[in-house]
């Protein structure tokens, strides 16, 4: 059984085996949680992302996929980068957002990570409505077979924390 915990705060302060990054397909950094992870983790993360672009992901990482790098100076062993879908009012595919959580857990299992911290993927710049994103995140983690013992959702503000809390209780 995987324990789900909620934490309010900055994911770059967490001490876990793996921290998940809400990246973009370029893998070369951005704003939001991505910017914070690269800032606090230092240049080793970007170096490895650049190498991944040059080797396996010439066209970028697809939406819903995940890949790991070093965590640099973060208090973690790995950063798992995943690309959330951009929300579109005209129709967005929830399975792509679910895939981010499932693929990140698959990569975590490959690495042997036992504790994994997730941000609320796609709920910032990518505009996915918070309640729906929280439902997809919690349902997907609950229904994905994994050896990860603890999933920690690290929510940046009260609105995100409360949305995830409603899904858990
Ligand atoms: N710790 C935890 N959560 C955070 C932090 C933090 N330090 N900073 C922001 N959040 P976003 P997305 C929350 O925009 O929507 C980037 O530029 C934030 O409040 O970081 O998946 C990438 O490069 C929100 O709830 O990611 C992509 O281009 C959540 O993290 C694009 O943004 C996600 O917000 C990805 O957009």
* Helices 43-55 and 32-41, axial angle in degrees (round to 10): 110
Structure tokens at 124: 């910032």
Q: Look up the CATH number of the domain holding residue 128.
A: 3.40.220.10
Mean pLDDT of the 138-144 span: 98
Distance 119 CA to ligand 1 centre (A): 7
Residue with tokens 């190498």: 51
Q: How confident is the model at residue 91 (pLDDT cuts 50, 70, 90)?
A: confident
Catalytic residue numbers read 34
Specify the number of domains making up the chain: 1
Ligand 1 atom nearest to CA at 29: 23
Q: Supply the mean pLDDT for the chain.
A: 97
- List beta partners, residue 22: 82
**What confidence category does residue 154 fall into, taking pLDDT thresholds of 50, 70 and 90?**
very high
User: Which residue, judged by its Cα, is nearest atom 10 of ligand 1?
Assistant: 33
Q: Which domain holds residue 11?
A: 3-168
Q: What ipTM describes this predicted complex? A: 0.99
| Angle between helical axes of 130-143 and 158-168 (0-180°, round to 10) | 40
């Amino acid at each position: 059984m995987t324990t789900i915990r909620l934490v309010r705060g900055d994911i770059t302060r967490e001490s876990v085996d793996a921290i998940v990054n809400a990246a973009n397909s370029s893998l070369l950094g951005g704003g939001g949680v991505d910017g914070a992870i690269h800032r606090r983790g230092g240049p080793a993360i970007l170096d490895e992302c650049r190498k991944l672009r040059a080797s396996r992901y010439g066209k970028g990482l697809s939406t819903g996929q995940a890949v790991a790098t070093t965590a640099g100076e973060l208090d973690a062993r790995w950063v798992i980068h995943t690309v959330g879908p951009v929300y579109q009012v005209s129709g967005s595919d929830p399975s792509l957002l679910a895939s981010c959580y499932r693929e990140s857990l698959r990569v975590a299992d490959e690495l042997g990570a036992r504790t994994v911290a997730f941000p609320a993927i796609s709920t910032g710049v990518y505009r996915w409505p918070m309640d729906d994103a929280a439902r997809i995140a919690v349902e997907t983690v609950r229904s994905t077979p994994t050896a990860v013992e603890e999933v920690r959702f690290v929510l940046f503000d009260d609105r995100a924390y409360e949305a995830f809390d409603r899904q858990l209780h």
